[in-house]
Amino acid sequence: MSIQTRAQGLQLSIEDSLRGTLALGLLEAEGASLEPLPAEFEVERERLCARLASHYAGKQPADIPGVAETRALFHRLDIDPTKTRPSSEALLRRVLQGKGMPQVNPIVDVCNLCSLEHQLPLGLYDRDVVKGAVRVRVGRENEGYPGIRKQWVNLTGRLLLEDDGGPFGAPTSDSRRTAVTEGTRNALVVVFSPTERASDLSTALERIADLLTRHCRTSIAAVRVLQ
């Protein structure tokens, strides 16, 4: 799929200490439909879950392509990925346990499919709630936020996204403040990748754009890769 976007989107910067370790993909989508996902998407989701369960039954997650690289990124950031799991691995473990994928709302479900498929953790946010430019950095002492389905997400020493309102996202668990809801029309997607997988980011972003366009009827406003 060829993505046509405006040249300038949300401003995003990476802390100098993370350069050479982290690559990021960013996508902005506008005008999402509030209609339920079509049956075509359900078929696509079930097919992916069945394929993963068949190919990787009995294997340790670390032996599955993409998982080890993301775990290595966490280790380089002094985060234990067996205690604080990347969101992409958490989805994979759920599928391999026969629990299937969670069904939340159309935008979230589409992006979860892409995260599972490419084994890259991503953050998904209501674009209209994000305030000003976004910065990617390591969390300071006692930083955190109320999380989605969690009372408090500790961000001390962990990778995070912040806007003018403070920290709001991470490759493990996102904040309630910027969460995508049933009424979200404009979305921001940030894909976190180790630098050795930076070449996979464009493919993952194209896949996200394709699914959001086909199933959520969005238009893609901006896409770019930073490293």
6 within a domain of the structure (yes/no): no
User: pLDDT for 36-53, tens place per residue?
Assistant: 999 999 999 999 999 999
Q: What is the largest CA-CA distance in the chain?
A: 46
CB 115 within 8 A of CB 87: yes
pTM over 0.95: no
Question: Please, where are the H alpha helices in 36-195?
Answer: 39-56, 67-76, 87-96, 106-118
CATH code of 203's domain: 3.50.40.10
What is the average pLDDT value for the chain, to the nearest integer?
A: 92
Give me the number of domains the chain comprises.
1
In a domain, 205, yes or no: yes
Average pLDDT over residues 153-157: 93
pLDDT at 42: 95
Q: Within a domain: residue 4?
A: no
Q: In this structure, is residue 158 part of a structural domain?
A: yes
| Token output for 21 | 């370790």
Amino acid, res. 112:
N
Q: Is the pLDDT of residue 2 over 70?
A: no
Residue 190: φ, ψ to 5°: -120, 125
Name which residue leads in pLDDT, 180 or 9.
Answer: 180
Place of tokens 């180790």: 194
Q: Is 191 domain-assigned?
A: yes
> Is the model's pLDDT at 3 over the cut of 50?
no
Quickly state the pLDDT bin for 8 (edges 50, 70, 90): low
Residue 61 falls inside a structural domain: yes
Domain that holds residue 89: 12-226
Mean pLDDT of 2-18: 70
